[in-house]
Amino acid sequence: MLNFEFCSPTKFVFGRDTQKRVGALVKEFGGSRVLVVYGGGSVVRSGLLAAVLASLDAEGLYHMELGGVKPNPRSDLVYEGIDICKKNGIDFVLPVGGGSAIDTAKAIADGALYDGDFWDFYSRKAVVTKALPHGCVLTIPAAGSEGSNSSVITKIEGNLKRGLGTEFHRPRFAVMNPELTFTLPRYQLACGITDMMAHIMERYFTNTPDVALTDRLAEALLCSIIEAAPTAMANDHDYESHATLMWAGMLAHNNSVGVDREQDWASHQMGHEISAKYDTAHGASLAVMFPAWMKYVYKHDVKRFVRFATIVWGVDPAGKTDEEIALAGIHAMQSFFVSLGMPATLEQAGGCRADIPELTAKVVNGKTGKFVELLPPQIEEVYALACEA
């Protein structure tokens, strides 16, 4: 177990009708001039945006709007938001949506109090020392950005997708009403399920010894997600399964299950390059990269993969070698992703085998991963495994 700090200070307001409290929550956390950040039409069509604005109005809060956030959120909208904040004395940023809206809002909040280019933070040229406060209304259980310290933005110039973790990225509050996720397109929900499982698995596969407690917490989350997912996918009005996914998605990424250990994150980094090049949904890129990565690394600690297979996937170990158990677990995971409608191969995710050298060259610093450190030749091999189902 490693020494650690853990601080997840967000006030989570979870359950039915909680979006009606957003105005009061913004006020509680000191906001008076609010920039509402959101994506496409669904937040408008569903009436959620109108309800949020009405809640702000009811508290007498000034507000402006910035719509148009897209999946794999991009720097151009961040610059636009920063400009609005600076010109209008905005003191609180309120994303309404999923991880893309929240990550955009976090980047806007970073840049609004900075004289330079916000990309300095994401390119590690500068460190965030102050930021506007932000709180969110979550509509997609997936990225965990509602409770995490991270934000991922793609810079249009060079198609660079980069993440930034800072404690300034923890939302002051997160309004989480599972009913708001009922009408998500099934593909988007499937991507979200994959993403939250990936957040847990990036932490689960570690070389840090003596982490049984957080291992068990991680397995508890994974089992709950796997149990809830088919019900939520099949029934778009089942409150309990959607609620389980929504809360699990937050816990998957606020670092509850990763505090005490070295974490991997190779699959995320390799997946990011796929999303950046082909605009593949984040979850879909992970559904392809995680099985490939596991097939490449499982021999590094086959006992951990045996544990994963038996506890999380219910693989019956009887009559099997450790290697067979491990591979059965990886296969069960990939079959689960496919059952949700996720792609199984790089090609199905919109990619192309011929691009592997280019994808590999873009992986930051030419290496990735802590469970097993991957250099460019190994990264190429993992991408190659992602071409096979």
Examine residue 212 and tell whether it contacts a copy of itself (CB under 8 A): yes
- C-beta of residue 288 within 8 angstroms of C-beta of residue 271: yes
Given 213, 234, 352, 375, the residue binding a copy of itself (CB under 8 A): 213
Quote the tokens at residue 273: 């390059």
**Full DSSP string of 237-250:** T-HHHHHHHHHHHH
SS3 258: coil
d(CA 384, CA 258): 29
- C-beta of residue 178 within 8 angstroms of C-beta of residue 243: yes
Which of the stretches 15-23, 116-124, 184-192, 317-325 binds a copy of itself when contact is defined by CB under 8 A? Answer: 15-23
Count, residues in the chain: 389
SS3 93: strand
Given 138, 152, 197, 243, the residue binding a copy of itself (CB under 8 A): 243
Given 148, 154, 256, 285, the residue binding a copy of itself (CB under 8 A): 256
Nearest to 156 by CA among 103, 77, 99, 82: 77
Given 223, 226, 338, 364, the residue binding a copy of itself (CB under 8 A): 223
* Total residues interacting with a copy of itself, rule: CB under 8 A: 39
Examine residue 318 and tell whether it contacts a copy of itself (CB under 8 A): no
Least CB distance to a copy of itself at residue 225 (A)? 9
Residue number, 22 or 228, with CB nearest to a copy of itself: 228
d(CA 244, CA 209): 30
Examine residue 16 and tell whether it contacts a copy of itself (CB under 8 A): yes
Given 40, 139, 244, 273, the residue binding a copy of itself (CB under 8 A): 244
The CA distances from residue 269 to 45, 229, 347, in Å, are: 34, 25, 18
Examine residue 227 and tell whether it contacts a copy of itself (CB under 8 A): yes
Quote the tokens at residue 115: 């004289």
Least CB distance to a copy of itself at residue 218 (A)? 9
Given 119, 122, 247, 371, the residue binding a copy of itself (CB under 8 A): 247
Residue number, 79 or 182, with CB nearest to a copy of itself: 182
Secondary structure element (H or E) that encloses residue 158, with its range: none
Examine residue 114 and tell whether it contacts a copy of itself (CB under 8 A): no
Window 258 to 287, contacts with a copy of itself (CB under 8 A): 259-260
**Full DSSP string of 305-331:** HHHIIIIIH----TT--HHHHHHHHHH
Q: Tokens 């979006």 sit at which residue?
A: 19
Given 7, 50, 54, 375, the residue binding a copy of itself (CB under 8 A): 7
Instruction: Label the pairing between strands 160-165 and 150-155.
Output: antiparallel
Calculate the dihedral angle through the C-alpha atoms of 163, 169, 175, 180, rounding to the nearest 10 degrees.
-10
- C-beta of residue 196 within 8 angstroms of C-beta of residue 248: yes
Given 239, 322, 350, 370, the residue binding a copy of itself (CB under 8 A): 239
Least CB distance to a copy of itself at residue 15 (A)? 3
Calculate the dihedral angle through the C-alpha atoms of 219, 323, 301, 143, rounding to the nearest 10 degrees.
-40
Which of the stretches 8-16, 69-77, 199-207, 280-288 binds a copy of itself when contact is defined by CB under 8 A? Answer: 8-16
Residue number, 118 or 247, with CB nearest to a copy of itself: 247
Examine residue 321 and tell whether it contacts a copy of itself (CB under 8 A): no
Examine residue 221 and tell whether it contacts a copy of itself (CB under 8 A): yes
Least CB distance to a copy of itself at residue 226 (A)? 11
d(CA 363, CA 356): 11
Examine residue 15 and tell whether it contacts a copy of itself (CB under 8 A): yes
Which of the stretches 218-226, 276-284, 302-310, 379-387 binds a copy of itself when contact is defined by CB under 8 A? Answer: 218-226
Helical packing angle, 282-297 and 186-204, nearest 10°: 40
Tell me which amino acid residue 381 is.
Answer: E
Examine residue 210 and tell whether it contacts a copy of itself (CB under 8 A): yes
| Contact set with a copy of itself (CB under 8 A) | 1-18, 210, 212-213, 216-217, 219-221, 223-224, 227-228, 239-240, 243-244, 247-248, 256, 259-260
